[in-house]
């Protein structure tokens, strides 16, 4: 499964670099308009809306939201209810599930858990795109 991510300070990129995921794509602020025609998981850090606008634009582009199997939020738990609020806003706006969350650039355990989530989704025969 494709893993698509957005990184502002480099923490999400570091998570991806230390993960076993090879089918990845980084959303950039300069060109978030990439059409994806395969199931993917989207990982997004938590920042104010104007900083994460490229993620919203990416999901709204063509049929991208249809192929998104779910969201993974990153952030800082010190912010309490604001932890992963970007993922929560995306989930609400695009009717997507939040599959997992982690702090900063994640731990080895976070990589293991997300790998389990990806493997579970890959083993399912029905995708969100088939249901819509």
User: Who contacts 10 (Cβ-Cβ below 8 Å, separation ≥6)?
Assistant: 105
pLDDT digit string, tens, across residues 72-112: 999 887 766 777 999 999 999 999 999 999 988 899 999 99
For residue 7, the enclosing domain spans: 2-131
Average pLDDT over all residues of the chain: 90
Tell me how many domains the chain contains.
Answer: 1
Task: Return the CATH number at 91.
Answer: 3.40.50.360
Query: What global pTM score does this model have?
Result: 0.90
> How would you label 32-61 residue by residue, b for 16+ Cβ within 10 Å and e otherwise?
beeebeebbbbbbbbbeeeebebbbebbee
């Amino acid at each position: 499964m494709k893993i698509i991510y957005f990184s502002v300070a480099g923490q999400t990129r570091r998570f991806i670099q230390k993960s076993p995921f090879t089918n990845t794509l980084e959303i950039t602020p300069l060109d978030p308009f990439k059409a994806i025609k395969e199931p993917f998981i989207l990982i997004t850090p938590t920042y104010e809306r104007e900083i994460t606008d490229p993620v919203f634009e990416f999901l709204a582009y063509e049929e991208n939201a249809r192929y998104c199997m779910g969201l993974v939020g990153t952030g800082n738990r010190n912010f309490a209810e604001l932890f992963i609020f970007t993922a929560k806003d995306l989930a609400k706006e695009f009717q997507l599930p939040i599959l997992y969350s982690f702090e900063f650039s994640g731990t080895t355990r976070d990589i293991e858990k997300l790998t389990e989530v990806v493997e579970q989704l890959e083993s399912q025969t029905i995708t969100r795109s088939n249901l819509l």
